[in-house]
Amino acid sequence: MTETYNSAVLNLAVTGIHDLTESNKQHKGVRTPAQESHFLCSWMVDSLKAKRFSKLVAEDLTQWIRLGRSQGAGAQLKQLLERIVIQYQDAKAAKLGDALDAVLADFAQQNWLVVTDTPLSSKLKLDGDGQSSVVVCAVQMKSHRKDAELLKPIALYVRGDENVLAEIALQHGLLISQANKKTTLIKHHKTYLVIPKNQHASLCLLARLK
C-alpha cells in the first residue's frame, strides 16, 4: 500500500509526542517549554539524519529544525505536533462533499458572505464592504462532486480569519491547504483547496489548540 503524506506526517507527530513524553518521565523535575523545544529540535535532527520517517515529510522536518534553532521555545514544536495529531486523526476520507457543504453553512451562520452560484473563469472583484467572505465556483461545486463525495479538487477563495477557517474545517473533518497565492480569481481573497479523500501533498491549515 502506497504511503500518503497524511499517514506520514501523522506518524511523525504521534512518534514525536510519544518520545517527548517518555523522555520527560526520565527527566528530574518538570521540563520548561525551552527544554522541550530543544529536545524536539534535536530529536528531529536525529530523525532526519537516520531517515526515520518517510521522505514525504523530510522538507517539513528541515523547516521545523530551522524554526527550532532560530526561535527556541517560540517555535512551539510540541504544540505543532499536537495540532497535527488532532487535525489528521479527525480527518475524514469519505463524504467530503457533505463536509464542504457543512463548512460553508457554518460560515453563513457566522455572517460571512458565501457565494457558490457564480461560474468563475476570470478574475473578479467581490464588493463585500469588508465583510468576511468565501467564494466557490458554481461549476466546480456541481461537476467536481457526485452525491456526497469529491471527485476533483475544489478551490475556495477566502477573505477572512484563517484561524476561523481552520477551526471550522476541523469540526467537519475537512483538511484545507493553501494554494499558490497567484492563482486567486477573486481580488483580495486567498485560494485554498479541498482535495478528494483529504489527501493533500503538504501540511494543511492547522487549527489552534483550545
Q: Provide the residue ranges of all domains of the chain, joining segments of one domain with +.
A: 5-89, 96-198
Lowest pLDDT segment from 55-64, 90-99, 111-120, 197-206? 111-120
CA distance 169 to 86: 12
Q: Is the pLDDT of residue 147 over 70?
A: yes
Q: Is the pLDDT of residue 128 over 70?
A: no
pLDDT at position 31 is 85
CA distance 126 to 139: 18
pLDDT at position 179 is 78
* Residue count (the chain): 210
Q: Is the pLDDT of residue 123 over 80?
A: no
Strands 113-118 and 133-137: parallel
* Helix segments in 72-137, DSSP class H: 77-89, 96-109
Q: Is the pLDDT of residue 55 over 80?
A: yes
Break the chain down into helix, strand, coil percent, rounded to 5.
50, 15, 35
Helix/strand/coil for 128? coil
- Rounded percentage of the chain residues whose pLDDT exceeds 70: 94
* Side chain identity at residue 83, one-letter code: R
pLDDT at position 71 is 95
For residue 10, name the pLDDT band (cuts at 50, 70, 90): very high
- In whole angstroms, what separates CA 13 from the centre of its chain? 14
- Model-level pTM? 0.91
- In whole angstroms, what separates CA 121 from the centre of its chain? 26
What integer is the mean pLDDT of 187-208?
A: 92
What integer is the mean pLDDT of 102-112?
A: 95
Q: Which of 102, 197, 88 is nearest to 149 (CA)?
A: 197
Q: Is the dihedral of CA 61, 32, 11, 85 positive or negative?
A: negative
Q: Is the pLDDT of residue 190 over 80?
A: yes
